[in-house]
Each structure stands twice: as structure tokens, then as C-alpha cells.
């Protein structure tokens, strides 16, 4: 191995080694930072409510909500399909032609805040849209 090859090898190895050593040296500080970040209070406003809670509390409530309502495989597949559409929207008639039912499938998804209709009631809607919460669930389903 000549000096040029050795220098190139060092260039490749130095940064990963520096990062590993830094993580090892600052492990406690990193853990404390992450713990404090999860315990830091944030203020969130939606539906006219201002909520102050920790990041950990918000995460716990979001995931508890998903445990409270467990979508069926048919509903889960529908959400995945809906999230994959360019605008996250589907005609209600098309969704019904996929074998989905208003009471059994759409209403529980709507009541959980995962989909929304385009009218005042879901029954009067002619299209369905995935909500940001629904997208979040689909995006993080395997996380």
C-alpha cells in the first residue's frame, strides 16, 4: 500500500471514527438531550383549542388512539390506497365499488379522524379524503 492509498483510506475512515468516538464520549449528554426534548412542553392549536403538553404525552395519546380504534385489514388497505393517490381523495362510489361500506368502514375511519367527506355529513359526501392524521398513520405504520 502506497502513501496515496493510505491517505484515501484514512479519509474514508476518519469521519465515521470521529462520529463513533463522539457518540461514545457524549452518550450521556445525548441521552439527556433526547429525554429533555421528549419532556419539553409544546403548545399546539387546533379546532380552536390550545393544548400545552409534552412531546411524549402527545405521542402517547396519538398511539393510544390508534390502539383504541384498530382498523380492519380492509380499512387499513383503503387508507394505504387513499394515501397513495396524488390528492389523497377518492370518489365515494369508487370506494363503495371496492367493497367498502358506509357504516362498517367509512364511519369508524371518519370518527377516528383518519378520513373526511366533502359534505356536512359523510352520508351526503360524494368523495372521501385522507386526513393528515390518516397520512401520519399510514406513513408510520411500520415504525
| Portion of the chain with pLDDT greater than 70, in percent | 94
Give the DSSP per-residue string, 51-88.
EEEEHHHHHHHHHHHHHHS---HHHHHHHHHHHHSTTS
Same domain, 90 and 107: yes
Smallest Cα–Cα separation from 126: which of 95, 92, 102, 97?
92
pLDDT of residue 136: 82
Count up the domains in the chain and report the number.
3
What is the signed CA dihedral for 53, 57, 60, 63, rounded to 10 degrees? Answer: 10
Residue 86 structural domain: 71-139
One domain, residues 5 and 22:
yes
Same domain, 15 and 58: no
| pLDDT tens for each residue of 29-68 | 888 877 777 778 878 776 677 888 887 887 777 777 766 7
**What residue has cell string 468516538?**
21
Are residues 133 and 78 part of one domain?
Answer: yes
Summarize pLDDT for 104-124 with one digit per residue, the tens.
Answer: 888 888 888 889 988 888 888
Amino acid at each position: 500500500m502506497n502513501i496515496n492509498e493510505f491517505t484515501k483510506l484514512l479519509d474514508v475512515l476518519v469521519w465515521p471514527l470521529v462520529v463513533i468516538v463522539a457518540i461514545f464520549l457524549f452518550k450521556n449528554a445525548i441521552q439527556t438531550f433526547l429525554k429533555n426534548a421528549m419532556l419539553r412542553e409544546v403548545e399546539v392549536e387546533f379546532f380552536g383549542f390550545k393544548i400545552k403538553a409534552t412531546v411524549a404525552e402527545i405521542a402517547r395519546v396519538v398511539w393510544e388512539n390508534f390502539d383504541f380504534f384498530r382498523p380492519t385489514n380492509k380499512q387499513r388497505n383503503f387508507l394505504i390506497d387513499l394515501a397513495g393517490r396524488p390528492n389523497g381523495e377518492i370518489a365515494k362510489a369508487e370506494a363503495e365499488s371496492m367493497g367498502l361500506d358506509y357504516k362498517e368502514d367509512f364511519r369508524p375511519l371518519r370518527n377516528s379522524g383518519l378520513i373526511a367527506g366533502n359534505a356536512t355529513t359523510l352520508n351526503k359526501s360524494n368523495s372521501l379524503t385522507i386526513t393528515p392524521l390518516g397520512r401520519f398513520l399510514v406513513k408510520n405504520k411500520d415504525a
